[in-house]
Amino acid sequence: MAQPEEMYQCQTVNCGYIYDPDRGDRRGKISKGTQFADLPDDWKCPACGAGKKMFKPLAGPGSVAAGG
């Protein structure tokens, strides 16, 4: 199971989608086990279309939980 530090949450106003490397992104053809850092630069949130820069980790430095 992925640790919270490995999962990223979309920080757009209405989204909240969480990228989980254990699940990947079937719609975006991202296979299970792909870490967020290894996603292509042009990958978009499957829920709202936001880019990678709109995501923050769920835990750790700069995370959602840390308020950063």
User: Which of 61, 64, 62 has its CA nearest to residue 18?
Assistant: 64
pTM over 0.95: no
Q: Give residue 66's pLDDT.
A: 65
Sort strands 55-57 and 8-10 into parallel, antiparallel or unpaired.
antiparallel
CATH fold of 1-60 reads Rubrerythrin, domain 2 (2.20.28)
Domain ranges of the chain: 1-60
pLDDT tens digits in sequence order for the chain, 68 residues long: 888 888 999 988 789 999 999 999 999 999 999 999 999 999 999 999 999 999 999 888 878 676 65
